[in-house]
Amino acid sequence: MASIQFFARPPLPRLAYHRICGRDPGVVFLPGFMSNMNGEKALALEEFCSSAGHSFIRFDYSGCGSSEGNSEESLLGTWKNDVLSVLDNLTTGPQILVGSSMGGWLMLLASLARPKKVAGMVGIANAADCFVDRFNQLPPETQKEVEETGEWKIPTKYSASGFYTVRHQFIKESEDHCVLGSGIPVACPVRLLHGMKDEVVPWRNSVRVAEQLASEDTDIILRKNADHRMSQPEDLKLLVSVVDALIHKLTKAHLH
């Protein structure tokens, strides 16, 4: 395993990351909301890239995991800028972005901001627009309560407290980054993996993403028995094989 490093970018918080140097295209893993770079998907991809000789980066967003900063002060735009910082300063050549849940949303935003840098994308349980959509589906009185208290507690089995606390300010700022209301002008190959037993982000969200993407080379892969995490051994095997196939496709295209 690569040792932890820190990317300094004063006055912004330092970002913790692990990097393997290797061939292009490189792979960059983007974790989900309140997650970090040490999850099973990130480690499975690191192991694969290491054995295949391709460069790989996993990192923590500001205020998450080992990175500096305060997660309570972070907005979706903060984390989008973290992704761009990593792409601009820690990678060379074309990259495949692999985004899990909220990381899948950030992956789309990064590809829009850096179209020449992003050669391909793999989304896992893509959560594009999800915070905003879910908030807008709440009864008006609940929305008002969230506005007044400044906090929205979302029930989840993935947190020890039984819920994630999302600030109202985070949701409002996220509205500036919604991508599913109109076309997503991204032309690179995209693979969207989603579990049909996902109770957090409905699998139809990946279908919505595919419908809006300009790229003709877009595939959706649904796993009937997978949940939101998609971290079972068979899920990880699928993820690695999809990334492997995308690397081969991009390498072949480059050679021709």
Q: Which residues contact 56 (CB under 8 A, 6 or more apart)?
A: 19, 20, 22, 26, 27, 28, 29, 45, 46, 49, 50
Concerning whether 198 is annotated as a catalytic residue, the answer is yes
Concerning whether 101 is annotated as a catalytic residue, the answer is yes
* Residue from 60, 198, 227, 235 carrying the catalytic annotation: 198
* Residue from 55, 60, 228, 235 carrying the catalytic annotation: 228
* Residue from 62, 101, 111, 206 carrying the catalytic annotation: 101
Q: Is the torsion defined by CA of 100, 103, 108, 113 positive or negative?
A: negative
Concerning whether 18 is annotated as a catalytic residue, the answer is no
Catalytic residue ranges: 101, 198, 228
